Every structure is written in C-alpha cells, then in structure tokens.
C-alpha cells in the first residue's frame, strides 16, 4: 500500500514536470519582455544582421589580400625522372660488352633515376601598386566598419519599431476590451431597468447597438494585434504575451548639441566620407599597374642521379636574377580604361558624400522640430485624457440620477476610448522619434546601448585576419 502511494506521488511529479515542459514548448518563448530584452534577442538571433557581418568579413579580407604584395612568393618543386633503355642492333654481338659479360653483368638494359629538388623565392622590390592598394583597402575597411554599424542600427531600430507597434496595438486592443466590457454591463443595466419599467425598448436597442460597435472595433483591434505580433516574432525572434511600457531614451538638450553629435558620430555620414577617400586612393592603386616592376628571384636546386656517372653526377646550385619589367602597351589598353573608370567612381563617391552631408543637415532640423511637436502633442493628449475622464465620470453620475440619457453615455464613453488611443499613438510616435534621433547620432548600437551580449568587434576581427600569414 505504501509502495503504491509512493509510486502515485512519483508519477504525479513526473506529469507536472512533463506538463511544464510542454507548456514551455507550446508558448514558444512567450513571456513578458522589456525593450532591452527585445534588442538583446534581435542582436543574437537576427539573420539579416548575421548576413551583414559576413559581408563585412568578406570586405575585411581585402586588407590581408593587399598586404600580400609585401611578402615573397615561395614555392617548392620536386621532379622525379625514371628512364629505361634497351640497346638494339642487327648484329647479334653488338648489344653486349664482352668484358661486362665476362664479369656476369647484364647490360642488355639500362635503368636511370633522376630526382631534382627546387626551392624558388621571388620578392617584389617595387611595383608602384602595393603601397597604394594597402592604403585604399585600409580606408575601405573603415568605410565597411561604418556601414556595418549603420546596418546594425537599422536592424535594432526595426526591432524598436516592431516593439512600439506591438505595444500600441496592445493598448488599442485593451481599450476596445474595456469598451466591450462597459457596453456589456450597460446593456445588462438597461435591460434590468426595462423589467421594472424604468427604461424602454428604444434605450435597450441603443445600448445593444453600442455593444455591437464595440465588439466590431474589438475584432479589428485583435486582428491588428495578431499582425503586429507576427512582425514582432520576425524582427525580434520571440512572441511576447506582455510588454513593459517603453521609456524615453536620453536625448540632447539643444539642437546645437544634437547636430554636433550627428556630424561627429553618424555612421552613414562616416561611411560616405571613408568611401570617398577609399575611392580616391584606389586611383593611385590602379595607376601603379602602369609603373615599372622590379623583382628579385632566388632558386636553390639539388639534383640526385641514380646511378651516378661521370656524365651525370649529383650536383646542387643557386641561381639569382633581378628582373625589371616596364609596361609599354599591355592588354590592349585595358589598364588605361580601368584607370578612367576608377576616376569616375571616385567622383561619384565624392558627390554621394556631399549629398549625404546635405541630406543629414536637413534631417537634423526636421527630426528636432518633429520631436518638439510630438512633445507638445503628448502634453495636450495627457491633459485631454484627464479632462475626458472627468467628463465620463460626471456623465455617469448624471445618468444614474436620470439627468442624462443613454445616448450621452455612449458618446462620452466612445470619446474616452478615442482619447486613450490617441494618447497611446502620440506616445508611440514620440518614443519612435526619440530612437530615430539616437540612430542618427550613432547611439543605437549594442555597445552604445550597453546590451548584455557578446559584441561583434570589427577591429578584433581585422586583427584575426592579419595575425597569421596562413590560415583558413
């Protein structure tokens, strides 16, 4: 009996554990989450961001490729030659040496094996291209680093947008739920009054119409909430059941401070500048292919003959050569065409940098003024909500005293719902604008936000690429 009870207890514990695990699987990591946790999940799981990092690593490999021009080319070669010869003559005795035959040596066939080992070293002393190429790719690395930072900010900003959109959709759905609950109780109250003769059928119909409209808005709000939840899952990688209210990030106190930070730290502006410099440096790298090239070559050779004879003996040697190549007209003039293309690309990059600077100047003012406008709108929406709440409470008191009819109640309740949604919308837009300003200032990266993640460090990745001469 005791054993049976203990077995039931163990089975009960196992079923509880199994149910808990099943619940965790079915909820698909569904839990209340903060904006910081959402950004951490985005940084760790977003596939688009991972692709951007791979693109950066491909670009960073150009630094190692450019530096290879400073190092020698070293190659080893082993050549093995086997030969077998048999003399043939129409004279029977001419194929053999009588002396060797007397000694018992068969010379009817001859075997020979030659092994030649060569170690070659070639070092470029001057080609007019390596230095310029290294300079160009170093600037290109800075541009790629700024581009990656800009892309990271865009991914995190998309996550912020998805979080705020879900938060707004949830607020609208909660408001519609509150409206349905209010109208349901209102219908019950009117129907109760109808039974005692304090209301008529018209008032009941009006109350039921208000409930139907509230349910219609609730269905629309639920549909919008599910859509935002799917977008949340795509951008962030988790499905929230609840979200904590977003807080306004720290922002500059003045337009001048905001502008100074943007001009100094904006990743998109930095990318445009470094890309223009890299394109300009690339002109010298391409022009270097038209300059003379000076190479020093060494070759270490060792030959082993088996068998060794007076005419083919073992030997070793060293050869050296100094080669000067002067391009006069090669590849049908393709080098000159490539040089012209590079100059056009450099001009294009310079124009793009100028355009980016002008565009950012205009966006700085627009973002700042939009934030001030939204701040005023949020203050007004807060005051309006407080006033509408007072109006709603007053109307309900008057309705209970018989001073207001059902139409007045439905109108004031509908107005209160609209004001709640309007405040939530303005608050969402205000916080959205604030994070957009942080992105322009270059402060929307995982490192600047101090997220608790393993940061992808471009400089560290470059050192990994440069450190070993041979790696895969």
Q: What is the pLDDT of residue 20?
A: 40
The residues facing 302 across adjacent strands are: 117, 316
Do the domain assignments include residue 4?
no
Q: What is the pLDDT of residue 29?
A: 43
> What's the CATH number where 413 sits?
1.20.1600.10
Q: Are residues 348 and 206 in the same domain?
A: yes
Q: What is the pLDDT of residue 4?
A: 44
Q: Are residues 432 and 317 in the same domain?
A: no
Strands 73-85 and 110-126, how do they pair? antiparallel
Q: What is the pLDDT of residue 155?
A: 96
pLDDT band per the 50, 70, 90 thresholds, residue 431: very high
Q: What is the pLDDT of residue 1?
A: 40
Do the domain assignments include residue 15?
no
* Weakest-pLDDT range from 178-192, 223-237, 328-342, 365-379: 328-342
Q: Would you give the DSSP letter of residue 72?
A: P
Distances in Å between the Cα of 346 and the Cα atoms of 70, 220, 251, 270 are: 26, 53, 36, 16
CB 232 within 8 A of CB 163: yes
The residues facing 119 across adjacent strands are: 76, 300
Do the domain assignments include residue 10?
no
Inter-axis angle of helices 130-195 and 47-67, to 10 degrees? 170
Do the domain assignments include residue 363?
yes
Q: Are residues 353 and 400 in the same domain?
A: yes
Specify the DSSP element, H or E, that contains 345: helix 334-400
* Weakest-pLDDT range from 2-16, 215-229, 418-432: 2-16
Residue that is last in its domain, among 326, 349, 370: 326
pTM for the full predicted model? 0.79
Contacts of 284 (CB under 8 A, 6+ apart): 132, 135, 136
Residue that is last in its domain, among 283, 307, 326: 326
Q: Are residues 176 and 248 in the same domain?
A: yes
Q: In the predicted model, what is the mean pLDDT of residues 220-228?
A: 94
Residue-by-residue DSSP string for 366-393: HHHHHHHHHHHHHHHHHHHHHHHHHHHH
Tell me phi and psi for residue 81, to 5 degrees. -120, 120
Spatial distance between the Cα atoms of 323 and 235, rounded to a whole number of angstroms: 59
Residue-by-residue DSSP string for 192-258: HHHHTTSS-HHHHHHHHHHHHHHHHHHHHHHHHHHHHHHHHHHHHS---S-BPPP-PPP--SSHHHH
Spatial distance between the Cα atoms of 84 and 103, rounded to a whole number of angstroms: 22
Q: Are residues 46 and 101 in the same domain?
A: no
Spatial distance between the Cα atoms of 232 and 274, rounded to a whole number of angstroms: 35
Q: Give the CA angle between residues 274, 277, 281 to the nearest 5°.
A: 135
CB 383 within 8 A of CB 419: no
Position 70 pLDDT exceeds 90: no
Q: What is the pLDDT of residue 462?
A: 85
Q: What is the pLDDT of residue 242?
A: 76
Q: Are residues 250 and 138 in the same domain?
A: yes
Q: What is the pLDDT of residue 12?
A: 40
- The total number of structural domains that make up the chain: 2
Q: In the predicted model, what is the mean pLDDT of residues 226-251?
A: 87
Q: Are residues 100 and 146 in the same domain?
A: no
Do the domain assignments include residue 340?
yes
Do the domain assignments include residue 2?
no
Position 93 pLDDT exceeds 70: no
Inter-axis angle of helices 47-67 and 458-466, to 10 degrees? 40
Do the domain assignments include residue 353?
yes
Q: Would you give the DSSP letter of residue 88?
A: -
Q: Are residues 251 and 195 in the same domain?
A: yes
Q: Are residues 321 and 397 in the same domain?
A: no
Q: Give the CA angle between residues 352, 354, 359 to the nearest 5°.
A: 90
Q: Give the CA angle between residues 238, 242, 247 to the nearest 5°.
A: 95
Taking only the tens place, the pLDDT of each residue in 98-146 is 655 565 555 556 778 888 999 999 998 888 788 888 899 999 999 999 9
Q: What is the pLDDT of residue 340?
A: 92
Range of the domain at 86: 75-125+293-326
Q: What is the pLDDT of residue 469?
A: 55
Q: What is the pLDDT of residue 103?
A: 55
Query: Listing from the earlier edge strand, what are the strands of the sheet with 73-85?
Result: 73-85, 110-126, 293-306, 315-325
CA 43 and chain centroid, separation: 8
> What's the CATH number where 120 sits?
2.20.200
Percentage with pLDDT > 70 across the chain: 86
Of the candidates 390, 367, 366, 370, the residue with the CA atom closest to the CA atom of residue 378: 370
Q: Would you give the DSSP letter of residue 74?
A: E
Of the candidates 386, 416, 414, 412, the residue with the CA atom closest to the CA atom of residue 399: 412
Residue that is last in its domain, among 273, 306, 326: 326
Taking only the tens place, the pLDDT of each residue in 303-345 is 888 776 766 778 888 999 999 988 888 777 788 888 999 999 9
Do the domain assignments include residue 302?
yes
Instruction: Return the beta strands (E) in 391-437 as ranges.
Output: none
Q: Are residues 140 and 229 in the same domain?
A: yes
Q: Are residues 260 and 178 in the same domain?
A: yes
Residue 456, SS3 per DSSP: coil
Mean pLDDT for the chain?
Answer: 85
Position 97 pLDDT exceeds 90: no
CB 367 within 8 A of CB 433: yes
Q: Are residues 346 and 385 in the same domain?
A: yes
pLDDT band per the 50, 70, 90 thresholds, residue 225: very high
Contacts of 420 (CB under 8 A, 6+ apart): 171, 175, 385
Position 235 pLDDT exceeds 70: yes
Taking only the tens place, the pLDDT of each residue in 14-56 is 444 444 433 333 334 444 588 999 999 999 999 999 999 999 9
């Amino acid at each position: 009996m005791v054993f049976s009870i203990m077995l039931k207890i163990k089975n009960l514990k196992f079923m509880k554990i199994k149910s808990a695990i099943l619940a965790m699987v079915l909820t698909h990591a569904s839990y209340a989450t903060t904006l910081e946790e959402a950004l951490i999940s985005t940084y760790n799981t977003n596939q688009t961001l991972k692709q951007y990092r791979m693109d950066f690593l491909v670009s960073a490999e150009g630094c190692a490729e450019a530096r290879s021009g400073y190092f020698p080319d070293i190659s080893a070669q082993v050549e093995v030659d086997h030969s077998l010869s048999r003399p043939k003559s129409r004279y029977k005795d001419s194929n053999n040496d009588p002396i060797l035959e007397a000694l018992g040596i068969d010379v009817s066939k001859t075997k020979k094996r030659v092994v030649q080992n060569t170690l070659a070293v070639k070092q470029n002393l001057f080609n007019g291209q390596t230095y310029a190429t290294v300079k160009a790719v170093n600037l290109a690395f800075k541009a790629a680093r700024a581009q990656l930072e800009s892309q990271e900010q865009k991914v995190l900003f998309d996550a912020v947008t998805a979080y705020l959109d879900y938060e707004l959709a949830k607020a609208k759905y909660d408001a519609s739920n509150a409206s349905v609950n209010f109208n349901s109780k209102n219908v019950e109250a009117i129907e109760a009054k109808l039974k005692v003769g304090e209301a008529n059928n018209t008032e009941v119909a009006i109350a039921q119409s208000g409930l139907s409209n509230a349910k219609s808005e609730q269905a629309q709000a639920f549909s919008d909430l599910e859509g935002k939840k799917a977008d949340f899952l795509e951008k962030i990688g988790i499905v929230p059941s609840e979200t904590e209210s977003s807080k306004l990030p720290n922002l500059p106190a003045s337009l001048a401070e905001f502008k100074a930070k943007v001009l100094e730290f904006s990743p998109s502006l930095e990318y445009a500048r470094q890309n223009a410099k890299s394109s300009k440096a690339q002109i010298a790298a391409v022009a270097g292919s038209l300059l003379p090239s000076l190479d020093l070559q060494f070759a270490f050779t060792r030959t082993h003959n088996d068998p060794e004879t007076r005419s083919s003996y073992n030997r070793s040697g060293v050869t050296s050569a100094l080669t000067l190549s002067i391009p006069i007209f090669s590849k049908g003039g393709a080098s000159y065409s490539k040089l012209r293309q590079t100059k056009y690309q450099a001009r294009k990059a310079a124009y793009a940098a100028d355009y980016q600077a002008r565009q950012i100047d205009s966006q700085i003012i627009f973002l700042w003024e939009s934030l001030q406008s939204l701040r005023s709108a949020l203050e007004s929406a807060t005051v309006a909500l407080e006033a509408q709440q007072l109006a709603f409470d007053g109307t309900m008191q008057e309705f209970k005293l018989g001073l207001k009819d059902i139409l007045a109640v439905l109108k004031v309740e509908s107005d209160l719902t609209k004001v709640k949604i309007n405040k939530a919308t303005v608050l969402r837009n205000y916080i959205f604008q604030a994070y957009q300003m942080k992105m322009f200032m270059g402060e929307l990266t995982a490192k600047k936000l101090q997220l608790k993640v393993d940061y992808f460090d471009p400089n560290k990745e470059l050192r990994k690429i440069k450190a070993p001469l041979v790696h895969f």
